[in-house]
Structure 1
Amino acid sequence: MDFWTGLLTSLLQTAFSPTTAAFVLAAIGLNIHFGFTGLMNMGQAGFMLVGAYGFGVSVVLGAGFWTAILISMVAAIIFALILGIPTLKLRGDYLAIVTISAAEILRMIVRLASLQDVTGGPTGLAGSQYRHVFTALSPLPEGKTTFLGLTYNNTGIDDWWTRIVAWCLVALFILITWSLMRSPWGRVLKGIREDEDAVRSLGKSSYAYKMQALILGGVLGALGGIVMALPSAMQPDSMGRPATFNLWMIMLLGGAATIFGPLLGTLIFFIVRLLLTSLAGEFVPSTLLNAQQTEQLAWILIGISLMLLVIFRPQGILGNKKELSFNV
């Protein structure tokens, strides 16, 4: 009984985790890129890295919270412009090649030992160097609060304040995305995804709309990077290729071109992974699988599940087959 109680607590902790919320935000941005516009962005982790380090480095250099947020958003916009200007007029997978390369270039630059004093190099920045400007905004009283069996400090490290802000941002941008995709602007994006030539024939600048979508999704990725870095630390390798591939898995799992797909996909992704590792660790003898092998087995099973999903339900759990026409 203790195992099942502990497992349920761990699942709730994962569901409410700021990291989970960060991936939801980044997946919403990726969904705007690919699901609604048809842009093959394979470097969403690069936007997360730009956002996180734009915020963290700004605070370390003396900026306040809102100034650091503004710098982070501007950095994400500039990154989107750099990526989009040379590629958005091209067909095919050029954007995918550029974005995954640019994201890796950024990660390697941040890891440079010569930038140790600014970015922290390979070890990154400790949360204590930038978290204080966010903590200072908390209106919550000192102490701890228990909710749904979970107890955290109201404010500080691993706190309710970070969770409240993170999930409020998720709710806000789900609502914004829902509103945008029901607007004429959103309908143009879907038209570009399905038939870009038809959109041009109606006098719309597909290039301008794709650039706007790239910027908006990139800003959401940057916000996800900030939220991911707030409760712990800022480490460049945590926002590398695996993060982008996980975001694609999340989006495809929940359903591309859906409003709640990124949320559902993220929850399932993190909860199922934890569930598999916990069950295997409890019921599979250590002589057969050690902790590292159990984690690897969980990834294998998740990969197989994604393959089966793509084969038998390519639109994802919440997706619609009518939304699968992409102009690539």
Structure 2
Amino acid sequence: MDFLSTLFIDFGLQILSTVTAAFAIAAIGLNLHFGYTGLINIGQAGFMLLGAYGFAITVKFGGPFWLAVLVALAAATVFALILGLPTLKLRGDYLAIVTIAAAEIIRIVGGNQQLAPVTGGVAGIGNQVYSDAFTALSPFPQDGSFSLGPYTFPLTQGDSWFLRIVCWAVLAIVLVVVFLLMRSPWGRTIRGIREDEDAVRSLGKNVYLYKMQSLILGGAIGALGGVLFVLGASVQPDSLGRSQTFLLYTIVLLGGAATVFGPVLGSVLYFIIIIGLQDVVGQFIPAEIMSQEQIPQFGWIVVGVGLMLLVIFRPQGILGNKKELSFGD
């Protein structure tokens, strides 16, 4: 198999990946905060991690799957209330400071060894603790696999077709919900708040309440993305830290803030770029110049430079409308 064939197969793997779908969902929640409402949330990974812990701990102590999902969403709602009540009446940068600190608190508490009987401590909560509750819902056989072109995955267990179908189906549902919300009076109001909240307030709208609703909804969507992310992995406190929030901002800005499909396009392109860089560098750059361990770091550098160029030359992203929103305006 030649290099180009391998490269395109890897691209397809990333498009089908559950990680791509999970981060697209979390980015939609962040886009609701930042793109549509103008809330600077630097702790979206904290919502993801809290949702993952809420889900995994509930199943770990005997709760059914659907109760665990509701606990994850409830935890994100409470978290948003705790963050928003003291900050949303203040300037936007206060929310940024609070959210990045709160997300770090969740990560540090999750890794605390004294809480290991509940959270698993640094080791986290293994996928085997909660995977059976999810696979039990599958309409497919528990064993066996299925091939679609060059891609072969188990039907139900592990990194399966069932998990992929669920992740992309949930993503589609979230897209439809956000699309309908943005075409509703509620969506037009939060866009107005982003542009000029004093003008919206002068029309008799409760700006504080709308901001709180946006923070809760976007946080709950982020928690849902966290649940789907750990269904294909395990709950590790360091896997959803500060860097993941900046990754989500990269996805939103790449696809286009304040657009419905921007986060999905941004997530797909981001992971395609990363895997493409790894394949190209691994194929054409000698190991004496760049080792396999250095390739991921090189990918981060390229993405960082690309993000800076994007903000400078096309701040609205690929799908964004410059007349409506430009990053930094």
Could you say which residue in structure 2 is the equivalent of 1:158?
159
Q: Secondary structure at the match of 2:103?
A: helix
User: What amino acid is the match of 1:120?
Assistant: G
Would you say the 8 A contact 2:316–2:326 is kept in 1? no
Q: Secondary structure at the match of 1:86?
A: helix
Q: Secondary structure at the match of 2:316?
A: coil
Q: How much does 1:6 deviate?
A: 2.4
Between the aligned partners of 1:65 and 1:323, the Cα distance in structure 2 is: 41
Would you say the 8 A contact 2:47–2:223 is kept in 1? yes
User: What amino acid is the match of 2:174?
Assistant: F
Between the aligned partners of 1:3 and 1:90, the Cα distance in structure 2 is: 54
Could you say which residue in structure 2 is the equivalent of 1:279?
280
Between the aligned partners of 2:193 and 2:288, the Cα distance in structure 1 is: 54
Between the aligned partners of 1:16 and 1:139, the Cα distance in structure 2 is: 20
Q: How much does 1:56 deviate?
A: 0.1
Give the TM-score normalised by the residue count of structure 1: 0.98
Structure 1 pair 325/192, CA: closer, same or farther in 2 (3 Å)? farther
Give the TM-score normalised by the residue count of structure 2: 0.97
Between the aligned partners of 1:55 and 1:83, the Cα distance in structure 2 is: 21
**Residues matched between the structures, number:** 328
Could you say which residue in structure 2 is the equivalent of 1:288?
289
Would you say the 8 A contact 1:194–1:327 is kept in 2? no
Could you say which residue in structure 1 is the equivalent of 2:311?
310
2:41 corresponds to 1:41: yes
Would you say the 8 A contact 2:39–2:92 is kept in 1? no
Between the aligned partners of 1:301 and 1:226, the Cα distance in structure 2 is: 29
Q: Secondary structure at the match of 1:291?
A: coil
User: What amino acid is the match of 1:22?
Assistant: A
The RMSD of aligned alpha carbons is: 1.3
Would you say the 8 A contact 2:11–2:275 is kept in 1? yes
Would you say the 8 A contact 1:24–1:262 is kept in 2? yes
CA displacement 1:222-277 (0-9 Å, x = unmatched): 00000000012111101100100000011011110001100010011101011011
Could you say which residue in structure 2 is the equivalent of 1:241?
242
Would you say the 8 A contact 2:315–2:326 is kept in 1? no
Would you say the 8 A contact 2:55–2:68 is kept in 1? yes
Extract unaligned runs of 5+ from structure 2.
Answer: none
Could you say which residue in structure 2 is the equivalent of 1:104?
104
Moved over 3 A (4+): 325-328
Would you say the 8 A contact 1:41–1:96 is kept in 2? yes
Structure 1 pair 326/272, CA: closer, same or farther in 2 (3 Å)? closer
Higher mean Cα deviation, 157-166 or 295-304?
A: 295-304
Would you say the 8 A contact 1:152–1:158 is kept in 2? yes
Could you say which residue in structure 2 is the equivalent of 1:123?
123
Between the aligned partners of 2:183 and 2:82, the Cα distance in structure 1 is: 29
Could you say which residue in structure 1 is the equivalent of 2:193?
192
Q: How much does 1:29 deviate?
A: 0.1
CA displacement 1:184-240 (0-9 Å, x = unmatched): 000000000000001111110000000000000000100000000001211110110
Between the aligned partners of 1:233 and 1:304, the Cα distance in structure 2 is: 31
Q: How much does 1:149 deviate?
A: 2.1
Between the aligned partners of 1:44 and 1:124, the Cα distance in structure 2 is: 19
User: What amino acid is the match of 2:39?
Assistant: L
Would you say the 8 A contact 1:27–1:247 is kept in 2? yes
Would you say the 8 A contact 2:7–2:279 is kept in 1? yes
Q: How much does 1:300 deviate?
A: 1.1
Extract unaligned runs of 5+ from structure 1.
Answer: none
